[in-house]
């Protein structure tokens, strides 16, 4: 399937698949204590949601395309070895796929075993932001379609993110929001719990270069260097305190103008970003009018398998600010791997 084949039917189906996965994940999150009581594992609720989300989306995509190429984060080996976990996943999936058998669920999850690379394929992060999910805060279901190294469709479900900018990121919304971006056609927002609801166009307002900069970054220091981000903000000299939240929701927050930039500064030697962590979010941000590159200003290249092997870190911001951030990163010599600084 190529970009020319991204018909309204396919876009609607991808949107519905992510909405279904959001519904499943929301229900699992509400039953965290029940899942933990059976599995005796504090992380098991997010594991159940991860597998269930991938099963639901892979199944829906396979209905559209019998030759589906899906680069997913999960495979079903762990479920085959843990019957209690599989039962919870099966139960969660049946909320939106009532006829699913356990074998069908396992088969659907294993559809995510493609390696990506050249040509066209889907890439999926069924739960982006595992710690946010476990805290009852922000996480995302992130589905992207990539062609020749470029995302051409992104569906980003944010089940706990409110459309109300006055709401704290720590205060989960009951409906959430869902973003659908198609290359060259812009990005739309609708409630995450109703994929058929009327959608509104999201367009980033021009950045006021004279005002303060509102940065959003990862909650977890292991995911992005907070120290490096602070150095960059000090260099440009007009920063507010950063807003911290988990997952690709950060791309949406910048796309809709609630924050001005998202920085992901490398923290570990040899770390390579995964394509499913950025494909959907990147096209949502770019189609809203932002620029998304690595820390050297290079275009993100999704054509090298499961990782962004040719890129280092992430910078997402509207045009005037993006240039200013890249200049600051270069001046501070932060455009190098951590081990070379």
Residue 40 has what pLDDT? 61
Question: How many folded domains does the chain comprise?
Answer: 1
In a domain, 177, yes or no: no
Phi, psi of 124 (to 5 degrees): -135, 130
In a domain, 32, yes or no: no
In a domain, 268, yes or no: yes
Residue 221 has what pLDDT? 73
Phi, psi of 189 (to 5 degrees): -120, 140
Q: What is the CATH number of the domain that holds 241?
A: 3.40.190.80
Residue 2 has what pLDDT? 45
In a domain, 70, yes or no: no
Residue 3 has what pLDDT? 46
> Could you read off the pLDDT tens digit of each residue along the chain, which spans 341 residues?
444 456 888 999 999 999 999 999 999 998 888 878 666 677 889 999 999 999 999 999 999 999 999 999 888 998 999 998 999 999 999 999 999 999 999 999 999 999 999 999 999 999 999 999 999 999 999 999 999 999 999 999 999 999 999 999 999 999 999 999 999 999 999 999 998 999 999 999 888 888 889 999 888 776 788 899 999 999 998 777 888 999 999 999 999 999 999 999 988 888 999 999 999 999 999 999 999 999 999 999 999 999 999 999 999 999 999 999 999 999 999 999 888 87
In a domain, 125, yes or no: no
What range does the domain containing 294 cover?
215-340
Torsion of CA 319, 4, 18, 99, to 10 degrees: -170
In a domain, 11, yes or no: no
In a domain, 248, yes or no: yes
Q: Two tokens at 96?
A: 């939106």
Active site residues per annotation: 50, 130
In a domain, 231, yes or no: yes
């Amino acid at each position: 399937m190529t970009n020319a084949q991204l018909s309204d039917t396919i876009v609607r189906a991808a949107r519905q698949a992510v909405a279904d996965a959001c519904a499943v994940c929301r229900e699992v999150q509400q039953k965290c204590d029940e899942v933990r009581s059976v599995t005796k594992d504090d992380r098991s609720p997010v594991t159940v949601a991860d597998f269930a989300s991938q099963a639901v989306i892979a199944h829906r995509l396979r209905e559209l395309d019998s030759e589906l190429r899906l680069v997913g984060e999960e495979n079903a080996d762990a479920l085959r070895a843990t019957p209690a976990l599989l039962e919870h996943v099966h139960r969660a999936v049946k909320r939106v796929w009532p006829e699913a058998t356990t074998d069908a669920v396992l088969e659907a999850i294993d559809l995510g075993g493609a390696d990506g690379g050249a040509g066209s394929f889907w890439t999926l992060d069924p739960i982006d932001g595992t710690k946010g999910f476990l805290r009852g805060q922000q996480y995302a279901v992130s589905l992207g379609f990539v062609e020749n190294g470029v995302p051409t469709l992104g569906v980003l479900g944010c089940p706990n993110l409110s459309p109300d900018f006055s709401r704290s990121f720590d205060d989960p919304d009951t409906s959430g929001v869902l973003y659908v971006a198609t290359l060259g056609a812009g990005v739309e927002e609708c409630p995450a719990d109703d994929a058929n609801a009327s959608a509104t166009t999201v367009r980033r307002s021009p950045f006021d270069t004279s005002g303060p900069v509102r940065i959003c970054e990862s909650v977890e220091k292991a995911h992005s260097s907070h120290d490096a981000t602070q150095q960059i903000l000090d260099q440009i000299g007009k920063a507010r305190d950063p807003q911290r939240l988990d997952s690709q929701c950060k791309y949406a927050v910048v796309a809709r103008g609630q924050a001005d930039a998202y920085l992901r500064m490398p923290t570990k030697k040899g770390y390579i970003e995964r394509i499913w962590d950025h494909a959907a979010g990147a096209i949502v941000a770019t189609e809203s009018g932002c620029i998304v590159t690595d820390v050297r200003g290079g275009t993100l290249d999704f054509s090298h398998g499961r990782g962004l092997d040719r890129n280092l870190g992430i910078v997402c911001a509207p045009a005037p600010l993006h240039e200013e951030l890249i200049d600051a990163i270069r001046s501070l010599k932060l455009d190098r791997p951590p081990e070379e600084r």
